Amino acid sequence: MTFITRFAPSPTGPLHLGHAYSALLSYDMAQAVNGRFLLRIEDTDVSRCRPYWEEQIYDDLGWLGLSWEQPVLCQSEHLERYNAKIIQLAEMGLIYPCSCSRSDIRAALSAPQEGVPPTTVYPGTCRHRDMCSRQPGDALRLNMERALEYVSSKQLEFLESGPKHAGMHIVSPQELQRSTGDAVLGRKEIETVSYVLAAVVDDAKQDITTIIRGEDLFDTTALQVLLQALLDLPTPHYHHHKLIRDNAGKRLAKRDDACAIAKYRADGLTPCDIRQKLGL
Ligand code: GLU
């Protein structure tokens, strides 16, 4: 089987050293086995994504010496594909509309309920609603309890090869309920899916065999494996790599312009210098 991996940035800001690590590692791992390396632009969050940052991604990755297959899949051009999956889940009775604001949820969580242990996941205020009651501006949530019943005969598991969590992981339904709860799959903006679902749909569509990404996304994997099981999609292998940190040991964020690739380029560093900095 041909090894196929992808680098899937969201164009919401400049690429920094952490992105460069992820992209270069994915590219190198694919090259090492004569595999394929794809670039995917995850731009479903229209409020935060900008064409300017997308252009900068192509520019920075090209400068780093990477090449990728054309055409590049831009998620904003495939919203109907993700919506079809939302409809599929809705027809299975696994989705409900939710009008709760962040502050509603905070208030519900801080009101102690007798006999109910404290939790930080969505308290289920709108769980009784059906899809016919959906209003513009409602989010769509997965009914986690029903979803887990749906896949109760399947073993949810994934193989991880990253340095921190290497091995076979069994996804525990209890743990998913406790840590993730009724996840948002369709965001408040009409026709906008959450990243978790769009990524699962496209990883299958693009026949991705190995997902290489930062350790910060390790905890998202259990939900993605559940979605794969619900939608009858294959579960790829995973490789969550170390995070690149700044000098103070803090994880890099898009706003940390000091570590932006564009900044290093402007300062006269070469792609080799970047590889050296990253130990690649
Ligand atoms: N688009 C996500 C990000 O920029 C990456 C998702 C993934 O690799 O699964 O953080």
78 pLDDT above the threshold of 90: yes
Question: 85 is in which domain, residue-wise?
Answer: 78-205+220-233
The pLDDT of residue 118 is: 56
| pLDDT confidence bin for 247, thresholds 50/70/90 | confident
Q: Is there a single domain that holds both residue 119 and residue 86?
A: yes
Distance from Cα 117 to the centre of ligand 1, integer Å: 32
pLDDT tens readout for residues 249-278: 777 776 667 689 999 999 999 999 999 999
The pLDDT of residue 63 is: 98
CA-closest candidate to residue 64, choices 274, 252, 280, 279: 274
pTM of the prediction?
0.92
Beta-bridge mates of residue 57: none
Which ligand 1 atom lies nearest to the CA of residue 12? 4
60 pLDDT above the threshold of 80: yes
* Nearby residues of 112 by Cβ (< 8 Å), 6 or more positions away: 118
Q: Is there a single domain that holds both residue 67 and residue 84?
A: no
What H or E segment, with its residue span, contains residue 144? helix 144-150
Q: Is there a single domain that holds both residue 120 and residue 157?
A: yes
Distance from Cα 180 to the centre of ligand 1, integer Å: 18
215 pLDDT above the threshold of 90: yes
Q: Is there a single domain that holds both residue 87 and residue 128?
A: yes
In a domain, 190, yes or no: yes
Which ligand 1 atom lies nearest to the CA of residue 195? 1
Rounded Cα–Cα distance for residues 9 and 16 (Å): 11
68 pLDDT above the threshold of 70: yes
Region 133-148 average pLDDT: 94
Distances from the Cα of 60 to the Cαs of 183, 195, 231, 239, 262, in angstroms?
33, 23, 35, 23, 7
pLDDT tens readout for residues 155-194: 999 999 999 999 999 999 889 999 999 999 998 765 678 9
Region 65-94 average pLDDT: 96
Q: Is there a single domain that holds both residue 88 and residue 225?
A: yes
Arithmetic mean of pLDDT over the chain: 92
What's the CATH number where 185 sits?
3.40.50.620
Distance from Cα 196 to the centre of ligand 1, integer Å: 9
Ligand 1 residue neighbourhood (C-beta within 6 Å): 8-10, 42, 195, 199, 213, 217
Q: Is there a single domain that holds both residue 169 and residue 250?
A: no
Mutate to test the pocket of ligand 1, among 25, 195, 203 (most ligand atoms within 8 A of CB): 195
Mutate to test the pocket of ligand 1, among 12, 22, 42, 255 (most ligand atoms within 8 A of CB): 42
Residue 203: what residue type? Answer: D
User: What is the number of structural domains in the chain?
Assistant: 2
The pLDDT of residue 256 is: 66
Region 195-208 average pLDDT: 97
In a domain, 238, yes or no: no
